């Protein structure tokens, strides 16, 4: 019989400025990281993966921006699942949607368990009130999730310690951003230390982890529709990482607006499409 550790699975439901949601399943435990899609979209996506009413154990929020939490309240009410976030994020979310459902506070840097999944949050640099990433652990298997991160930090690097799957932002290509159509003020915001992570910075973060600890599965996440593309991000990060290390790794892309890549403990990532 498979144990929760053997049955750890991750599904990218969406990853981008139009909405973010990652489903993590281990045994009978179902967790959603971010809920930035409408309920009418999220509920069927979850149902296709066997998660129906009363079967979602928690919704982890990284921060209060709409593309990460716009569907959180409606989904929590429908599924009777708690929202889990640090107090400033819960307070910021409550300003847009009352909380007539259960919410659980997880102070930044603290740990908790939901079912068979251990959860630890860590700070990331972004222009939100108290943004975080998450490390999830089931037995000896670990997953790290970090998007909306304006710059590389030691906390982010430490979060990659011991992980088997790293979901890391690769939001923009430097040349595409600065030669593109965004207003100068928006370009500066994206490229700031509290904006988003570029392909090059993502590659540096990954390279350091590979050199320190060995093989890893990687998903590039939260790609910009305007300032990046799945093929460019994968090609750019792959070239930069392989020029610096010979440590083996798999590299896939979580797409912006529909389910794309999935992963199971002990297996390589499966990419459905780069269309």
How many CB atoms neighbour CB 38 within 10 A? 13
Cα 233 from Cα 15, distance rounded (Å): 14
pLDDT score recorded for residue 267: 72
Span 180-217, pLDDT tens digits: 999 999 999 999 999 999 999 999 999 999 999 999 99
Residue 229 is encoded by which pair of tokens? 């593309």
Q: What is the pLDDT of residue 99?
A: 63
Instruction: Please check the confidence at residue 274 and state whether its pLDDT lies above 70.
Output: no
Instruction: Identify the structural domains of the chain with CATH numbers, from first to last.
Output: 9-264 (3.60.15.10)
For the chain, what percent of residues have pLDDT higher than 90?
A: 90
User: Does residue 9 surpass a pLDDT of 70?
Assistant: yes
- Mean pLDDT value across residues 221-240: 97
* Interval 259-271: pLDDT, tens: 999 999 987 545 4
pLDDT for residue 128 is more than 60: yes
Task: Quote the percentage of the chain above a pLDDT of 70.
Answer: 94
The model's confidence at residue 102, banded by pLDDT at 50, 70 and 90, is confident
Residue 73: pLDDT over 50: yes
Q: What's the rounded Cα separation, in Å, for the pair 56 and 187?
A: 38
165 DSSP β-pair partners: 143, 217
Kindly state the tokens that stand for 10: 């991750």
Q: Are 167 and 134 in contact (CB under 8 A)?
A: no
Whole-Å CA distances, 122 to 1, 68, 86, 135, 213: 34, 17, 11, 8, 20
What pLDDT shows up at residue 34? Answer: 98
Report angle CA 105, 5, 107 to the nearest 5 degrees. 15
pLDDT above 60 (res 4):
no
Residue 257: the pLDDT is: 87
Q: What pLDDT digit, counting tens, does each position of 137-167 carry?
A: 999 999 999 999 999 999 999 999 999 999 9
Q: What is the pLDDT of residue 31?
A: 98
The pLDDT mean for the chain works out to 93
The C-alpha atoms of residue 223 and residue 255 are separated, in whole angstroms, by 7
Q: Please give the average per-residue pLDDT across 106-122, as a whole number.
A: 98
For the segment 16-56, what is each residue's pLDDT rounded down to a tens digit? 999 999 999 999 999 999 999 999 999 999 999 999 999 99
pLDDT value for 1: 40
């Amino acid at each position: 019989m498979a144990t929760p550790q053997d049955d750890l699975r991750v599904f990218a439901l969406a990853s981008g400025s139009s909405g973010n949601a990652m489903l993590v399943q281990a045994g009978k435990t179902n967790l959603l990281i971010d809920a930035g899609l409408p309920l009418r979209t999220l509920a069927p996506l979850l149902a296709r993966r066997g998660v129906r009413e009363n079967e979602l154990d928690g919704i982890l929020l990284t921060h209060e921006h709409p593309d990460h939490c716009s569907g959180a309240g409606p989904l929590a009410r429908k599924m009777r699942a708690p929202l889990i976030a640090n107090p400033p994020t819960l307070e910021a979310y409550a300003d847009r949607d009352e909380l007539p459902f259960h919410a659980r506070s997880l102070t930044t840097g603290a740990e908790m368990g939901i079912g068979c999944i251990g959860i630890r949050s860590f700070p990331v640099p972004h222009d939100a009130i108290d943004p975080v990433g998450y490390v999830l652990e089931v037995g000896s298997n670990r997953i790290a999730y970090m998007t909306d991160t304006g710059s590389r930090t030691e906390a982010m690097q430490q979060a990659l310690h011991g992980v088997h799957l790293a979901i890391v932002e690769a939001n923009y290509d430097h040349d595409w951003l600065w030669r593109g159509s965004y207003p100068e003020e928006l370009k500066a915001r994206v490229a700031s230390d509290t904006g988003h992570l570029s392909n090059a910075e993502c590659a540096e973060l990954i390279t350091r982890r590979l050199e320190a600890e060995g093989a890893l599965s990687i998903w590039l996440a939260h790609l910009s529709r305007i300032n990046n593309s799945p093929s460019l991000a994968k090609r750019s990060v792959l070239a930069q990482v392989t020029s610096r290390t010979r440590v083996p790794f798999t590299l896939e892309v979580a797409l912006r607006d529909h389910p794309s890549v999935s992963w199971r403990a002990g297996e390589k990532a499966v990419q459905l499409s780069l269309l």
